[in-house]
């Protein structure tokens, strides 16, 4: 059984695939915060800006990988008006959360591949991934154990207490991004991230363009 908060078609707003059309498959649940405001002050991750609690009209509970993959396929086909699979690699699904690796498994990845999707995951890196993921983006949290120490993209929310970029710079990732922490200090965080990237060219700036564009 998979518990899904929402499934929707949009543009990827962050990181290396910014601007790419994608279906977002947002799983419910996380291992670093309950998602409830009353628990935020005691959470390992206290700056999350996403609602991943329970299900919504755009989500639900799915008994089989095929049933969930079919819903992802339906969102892509409806959103893009693409009835055929199109060019290789065109179909793109981003598995996110919450923490998607609490639920994403090989059977679901295989079902999504069978429908022509490139499968990406956005994870906090505390759970070992299943086989078959095509693109791995890790967003480490300073006070959480980091199990997943290699992948395609490391996207560090900046600034975190005890989450200095130097802690992660030697890990085996193809791309390194700093993403300014949202909230009342986002302007200062953005300025600091720009300055850090300029003086440490290993890192690139990632902005939450979906928020800037006011799209989902």
Position 1 pLDDT exceeds 80:
yes
Q: Show me where the domains of the chain are located.
A: 2-213
> Distances from the Cα of 37 to the Cαs of 51, 59, 85, 172, in angstroms?
10, 21, 41, 34
Closest to 9 measured CA to CA, from 182, 174, 216, 212: 216
For 82-100, the pLDDT digits (tens) are 655 666 678 999 999 999 9
Position 81 pLDDT exceeds 80:
no
> Average of pLDDT values for 2-15?
97
Superfamily covering domain 2-213:
Aldolase class I (3.20.20.70)
Half-sphere exposure of 60 (CA within 13 A, CB side): 12
Q: How far is CA 44 from the centre of its chain?
A: 18
Confidence (pLDDT) at 15: 97
Active-site residue list: 24, 30, 45, 48-50, 122, 210
For residue 175, the cross-strand partners are: 153
What letter does residue 19 receive in the DSSP assignment? Answer: T
Scored b (16 or more CB within 10 A) or e, 73-107 reads bebbbeeeeeeeeeeeebbbbbbbbbbbbbbbeee
* Percent with pLDDT over 70 in the chain: 96
CA distance 145 to 147: 6
Strand boundaries in 135-215, DSSP class E: 135-138, 150-158, 172-180, 204-205
**Strands of the sheet with 150-158, listed across from one edge:** 60-62, 2-11, 21-27, 92-96, 118-123, 135-138, 150-158, 172-180, 204-205
> Average of pLDDT values for 18-33?
97
Instruction: For residue 118, give the H/E element and its range.
Output: strand 118-123
> Average of pLDDT values for 46-74?
95
> Distances from the Cα of 5 to the Cαs of 2, 210, 215, in angstroms?
10, 19, 18
For residue 94, the cross-strand partners are: 24, 120
> Average of pLDDT values for 13-29?
97
For 124-147, the pLDDT digits (tens) are 999 999 999 999 999 999 999 999
């Amino acid at each position: 059984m998979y518990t899904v908060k929402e499934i929707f078609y949009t543009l990827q707003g962050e990181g290396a695939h910014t601007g790419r059309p994608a279906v977002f498959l947002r799983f419910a649940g996380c291992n670093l915060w309950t998602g409830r405001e009353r628990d935020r002050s005691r959470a390992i991750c206290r700056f999350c800006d996403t609602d991943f609690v329970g299900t919504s009209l755009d989500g639900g509970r799915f008994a089989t990988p095929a049933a969930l993959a079919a819903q992802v396929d339906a969102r892509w086909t409806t959103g893009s008006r693409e009835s055929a699979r199109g060019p290789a690699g065109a179909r793109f699904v981003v598995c996110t959360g919450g923490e998607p690796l609490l639920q994403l498994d090989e059977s679901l990845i295989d079902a999504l591949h069978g429908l022509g999707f490139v499968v990406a995951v956005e994870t906090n890196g505390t759970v070992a991934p299943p086989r078959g993921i095509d693109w791995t983006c890790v967003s480490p949290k300073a006070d959480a154990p980091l199990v997943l120490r290699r992948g395609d993209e490391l996207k560090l929310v900046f600034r975190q207490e005890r989450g200095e970029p130097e802690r992660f710079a030697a890990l085996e990732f193809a791309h390194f991004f700093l993403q300014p922490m949202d909230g009342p200090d986002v302007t200062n965080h953005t300025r600091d991230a720009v300055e850090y990237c300029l003086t440490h060219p290993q890192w690139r700036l990632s902005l939450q363009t979906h928020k800037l564009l006011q799209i989902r």
